[in-house]
A and B are shown apart, each in its own frame.
Chain A
Amino acid sequence: MVGGKSFGERTFNLSTVVIMIVLMIVTLYPFWFSLISSLNSGEDLARGPVFLWPRELTWASWQTVLADSGIMKAAWITASRTVIVTVASILYTAMFAYAFSRSYLKGRKFYIAIGFISMYFSGGLIPSFLLMNWLGLYDHYMVYILPALFGGFWNVIIFNANYKAIPDSLFESAKMDGASEFRIFFQIVIPLSKPVLAALSVFTAVNIWNDYGTTLYFTQSPDLQTLQYVILRLIQSNRAVENMVSTVEGSNLAVQQLLSGASGQGLVTAQTIELAAMVIASIPMIAMYPFAQKFFVKGVLLGSVKG
């Protein structure tokens, strides 16, 4: 027991560190790989993957992606819906949760009931599809906004737990002074709930930014495609071409050449476009997630542990 640490203890510490480093490499390497591949010349990439650094560095794929009107349109749709839904749904949900958290709310049981029913029962995909059609939301920009305006009862529960941490005396004195419920909500509750508001805003934004289901289920026109959906289609079409190439490989040289021609030549190929689009679309989330982590611990976990 020299130095207070046994041999077993040291081995344990060392192996823990090694496991963690391996896990970090496994997590980060795919991003690094796609970054350097997207910055490599496409023709060169077709000869073999790059491992640590681009062999032939070029921004051509990035420029192609950023100049593509379809992708930029999709980015605009995605960004605008993310901002609108995040702001509106956090406001509505926080407001619902505030009214819901008041012990003097009459008919509170009714709201608890509809909240839990909405959590555990759902019509499923097809009835929702029919509803969107019936409401005229099918293939309309509003399908991205309206159904997402309420953030769900889970968020209400999280807000509720956080509101409990606000001292009752604040509410009582505000009420005695004749402040309206709206005033209490906007001037007392909102300023005191910043961590949870920030945390849930980040989560809502991440979910909306990453969502492709709405596009897949409820839209068809190319004008309404979201960024994730465009990338998904890029991935799927590239794989289809590759599968065809590998099926005809060796059997028919002419067809093979034709198909590999279809995936592009020169600095920019279908693969580098796909990778560049993936990297660019993940930049906002990579920039935002360290905040999510901080706020999550402060706003959501602390609240729920206390509550």
Chain B
Amino acid sequence: MLWHGDWRNGGERMASKKQKGYKLGFDFRTQLELKVMLLPAVCLIFLFDFTPLFGLLMAFKSYEPIMGVKGIFTSEWNHFQHFIRVFQNFQFWPMVRNTLGINLLGALISIPATLVFALLLNEIKHRKFKSLVQTVTYLPHFLSWVIFGGLFITLLNTNGIVNVLLMELHLIDKPVQFLADPKYFWGVAIGTGLLKDIGWGAILYLAAMAGVDQSLYEAAAIDGAGRFKRMLHITIPGILPTLMVLIIFAVSGMLNNNFTQIYVLQNTLNLPASQVIDTYVYQTGLLQFQFASATAIGLMKAVFALLLLACANALSKKMTKSGLF
């Protein structure tokens, strides 16, 4: 307790020095207090974020689960055998195709759709109606994929309401196997993804739109610009930085499927169209205990994702002078 008291005195001395122009906060006691505040989070980052990075060594070694944790360091290097085998794997290219297909088409559809939704919402002058629409469309964002996906599985079932309605309207002769037929899976994944996040995604655009200088609209209106012209020449340029950030995120997330979504919608029948990198890593890694090769695939994915992020950011900076960093 004695030395505790000493810091206190130290702090007071520093405080009195401040009155003579001494810079506050560089005293030992303050620094110590700050370090104590940082400590829990720093420990957690090191333990749960940095320690697993050592596990990446497995990707380059002939590691077997039986070797335990020590084996990660002691097992033999295997000259990139895991990576070579990944490319020879017949499941690899379909998996990459599904990952990129769902993400690329998903981004191409959902970014413009969310933007159009936000633009239309911004044009609604009736405040109550606007906030009602927003409140309703946010809802799915807060529900888990288990529930949201489960709802759509029920609706799209062969005896589900969508099929019953389509049959009643005589648009189809027999039920569509939305979830059992691989050819519909991308559509289901993209559609449910769009519906779940369109309302939430629009928040960011709307906040950016609120930041656009209102006098620009008035000036344009006086000059005779119609609603579409104002949208095109004022709103869209005004929210371009936000749009670019979202596009950068979409590009860098190109290889990152939403595991929680895909895993819920996936079943053995639609596997040819629904096996993506993340579900494959889970399946081979945790269910079949191929730790080393699953880590190799995960690592490759992460490296490409970082490269994509850097490229997208550089391109965005070049084209629009705004980027993430």
Instruction: Knowing A92-B40, A124-B295, A231-B147 are in contact, say whether A27-B137 is a contact too (CB < 8 A).
Output: yes
- List residues of B (95-148) whose CB comes within 8 Å of A's CBs: 117, 120-121, 123-124, 129, 132-147
Name which residue of chain A comes closest to B42, CB basis. Answer: A114
Which of the candidate stretches B16-24, B83-91, B212-220 sits at the interface with the other chain?
B16-24
- Asked if A261 lies at the interface with its beta carbon under 8 angstroms from chain B, I say no
Chain A residues whose CB sits within 8 angstroms of the CB of B203 once the complex forms: 296-297, 301
- Asked if A190 lies at the interface with its beta carbon under 8 angstroms from chain B, I say no
Chain B residues whose CB sits within 8 angstroms of the CB of A177 once the complex forms: 15
Chain B residues whose CB sits within 8 angstroms of the CB of A24 once the complex forms: 132-133, 136-137
- Asked if B94 lies at the interface with its beta carbon under 8 angstroms from chain A, I say no
Q: How large is the interface on B (under 10, 10 to 19, 20 to 34, 35 or more residues)?
A: 35 or more
- List residues of B (242-275) whose CB comes within 8 Å of A's CBs: 259-260, 263-264, 267, 269
- Asked if A265 lies at the interface with its beta carbon under 8 angstroms from chain B, I say no
Chain A residues whose CB sits within 8 angstroms of the CB of B47 once the complex forms: 131, 135
Interchain CB contact under 8 A, B52 and A231: no
- Asked if B171 lies at the interface with its beta carbon under 8 angstroms from chain A, I say no
- Asked if B53 lies at the interface with its beta carbon under 8 angstroms from chain A, I say yes
- List residues of A (97-115) whose CB comes within 8 Å of B's CBs: 98-100, 102-106, 111, 114-115
Instruction: Knowing A105-B31, A228-B144 are in contact, say whether A128-B52 is a contact too (CB < 8 A).
Output: yes
Which one of B15, B152, B285 contacts A126 once the chains associate, using CB atoms below 8 Å? B285
CB distance from A134 to the nearest CB of B (A): 5
A interface size (C-beta, 8 A): 102
Which one of B69, B136, B158 contacts A27 once the chains associate, using CB atoms below 8 Å? B136
- Asked if B223 lies at the interface with its beta carbon under 8 angstroms from chain A, I say no
- Asked if A167 lies at the interface with its beta carbon under 8 angstroms from chain B, I say no
Interchain CB contact under 8 A, B264 and A125: no
Q: How long is the Cα–Cα vector from A111 to B144 in the complex, in angstroms?
A: 33
Chain B residues whose CB sits within 8 angstroms of the CB of A209 once the complex forms: 144
- Asked if B169 lies at the interface with its beta carbon under 8 angstroms from chain A, I say no
Interchain CB contact under 8 A, A28 and B136: yes
Which one of B24, B151, B207, B263 contacts A172 once the chains associate, using CB atoms below 8 Å? B24
Interface residues of B (CB under 8 A from A): 11-12, 15, 18-19, 23-26, 29-31, 33-35, 37-38, 40-42, 44-56, 58, 69, 72, 117, 120-121, 123-124, 129, 132-147, 149-155, 157-161, 164, 179-180, 195, 198-199, 203-204, 207, 211, 226-227, 259-260, 263-264, 267, 269, 281-282, 285-286, 291, 294-295, 298-299, 302, 306, 309
Besides the known contacts A92-B40, A182-B33, A228-B146, 17 further A-B residue pairs in the complex with CB atoms under 8 A apart:
A8-B226, A9-B227, A26-B195, A48-B164, A49-B161, A111-B38, A124-B55, A125-B281, A128-B52, A134-B69, A150-B41, A150-B44, A212-B146, A213-B259, A231-B150, A232-B150, A239-B153
